[in-house]
Structure formats: C-alpha cells, structure tokens
Amino acid sequence: MDRRHTSNKLLSVDAWTLTATIVTRPATGDVAELHERAPVILPSDFVDEWVDAGTEGDQSLVDAAVDASTPQLEQLEFHEVAKLTGDGPELMKPSS
C-alpha cells in the first residue's frame, strides 16, 4: 500500500479525505443589509439528497439547493451584539 508522510503521521493514500465546503448564494432579505453573499442553508428534507453519493452533483442540484435555502435564509433572526473583544461564547450575547 502506498503511504505518504504528512505532519508526522503516515497516511494511507486510500484513506478518506475529510473536507468541508461552504456554498454561498446572493443574499436576500435582511441578510442583504449585512453582506452581498449568504450561506446556502439546506432544509432538513434536502440534506439526504445533498449528501447522497449516488446523486449527480451537477448545476441543477446546486440550483435546487439554492432554491431550497431561500425560506431558511429568510427566517434568520438578527440581533445586535457587543463590540468584538476577546474570543468566546459571550460574543454572541445580545448587546445591552
């Protein structure tokens, strides 16, 4: 088996490579006031189709995901938060 040395670990070339991707779309509604792009937020009934290895990953799938994300995006709630200082969960508390 072919092995490669990376970061002091031997990895099998046949091993899974874990990756992550954030698919974005033009922002709509209140989100557009914050930024011109927004994440594609998949509704729970679309997730299985999106991650199914047997699904053709073509432009029509991406278009369907963007369309399915519109209601999710429009339901987001916003509140003002305190000025960024430090790092931690307290940064998500509403501003008083």
Per-residue confidence (pLDDT) for residue 2, from 0 to 100: 45
**pTM score of the predicted model:** 0.62
Helix H or strand E encompassing 23? none
The pair phi, psi for residue 18, each rounded to 5°, is -85, 130
**For the segment 23-62, what is each residue's pLDDT rounded down to a tens digit?**
999 998 888 988 999 999 999 999 999 988 888 889 999 9
**For the segment 79-91, what is each residue's pLDDT rounded down to a tens digit?**
777 677 778 887 7
